[in-house]
């Protein structure tokens, strides 16, 4: 009788622990944009996975805008846009008037939204780029 009671108590305890564990909120906290993103850690990976891909802004870029690691920064910061010569691709501290931001948001004056023929960048990736530009577009 004592063994049955012990076994029953153990089963009840295990069931309670199972319900408690399974009822815990295991949803992931959504990723948020960084207030001061780093070019090398946060921005270049966006370019590498979405822009510097086959047929786009890699070493065979048709318009010459190469966004490969080690080249992207020099090719975009304070560089005139070829599509709108009144704009810089990245104008430090001014994401609103940076043509690269206009292109990824679909506000461009010429051409198409980037990345071309691919899904738009996530809201978080766009905000990270904007935050990086607004913080001075540092090469860090």
Q: Answer yes or no: is 48 within a domain.
A: yes
Mean pLDDT of 109-136: 96
| Burial class of residue 29 (count of CB atoms within 10 Å of its CB; 0-12, 13-18, 19+) | exposed
Residue-level pLDDT at 60: 82
Which range (16-30, 63-77, 118-132) has the least confidence? 16-30
Residues in the chain: 140
Give me the chain's average pLDDT, please. 85
Domain that includes residue 68, residue range:
39-134
Domain count, the chain: 1
pLDDT score of 64: 75
Least confident of 31-40, 56-65, 67-76: 56-65
For the entire predicted model, the pTM comes to 0.78
Residue 56: other Cβ atoms inside 10 A: 20
The answer to whether residue 8 scores a pLDDT higher than 70 is no
Dihedral-angle region of residue 92 (phi above 0 means left; psi in -120 to 50 means alpha; beta otherwise): beta
Neighbouring residues of 101: CB distance < 8 A, sequence distance ≥ 6: 90, 95, 107, 126, 129, 130, 133
- Residue 98, beta-bridge partner list: 88
Q: Within a domain: residue 74? A: yes
pLDDT of residue 62: 64
Q: Is residue 3 domain-resident? A: no
pLDDT > 70: percent of the chain: 77
- Is the pLDDT confidence value at 88 over 80? yes
* Sole residue written with tokens 């009788």: 1
Provide the pLDDT for residue 13.
44
Does residue 26 lie within any of the structural domains? no
């Amino acid at each position: 009788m004592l063994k049955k009671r012990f076994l029953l108590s153990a089963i009840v305890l295990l069931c309670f622990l199972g319900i408690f564990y399974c009822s815990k909120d295991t949803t992931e906290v959504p990723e948020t944009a960084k207030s001061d993103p780093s070019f090398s850690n946060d921005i270049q990976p966006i370019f590498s996975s979405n822009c510097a891909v086959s047929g786009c802004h890699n070493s065979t870029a048709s318009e010459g805008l190469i966004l490969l690691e080690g080249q992207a920064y020099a090719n975009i910061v304070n560089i005139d846009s070829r599509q709108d010569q009144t704009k810089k691709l990245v104008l430090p501290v001014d994401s609103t008037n940076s043509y690269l931001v206009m292109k990824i948001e679909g506000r461009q004056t010429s051409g198409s939204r980037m990345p071309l023929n691919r899904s738009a960048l996530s809201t978080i990736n766009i905000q990270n780029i904007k935050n990086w530009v607004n913080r001075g577009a540092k090469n860090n």
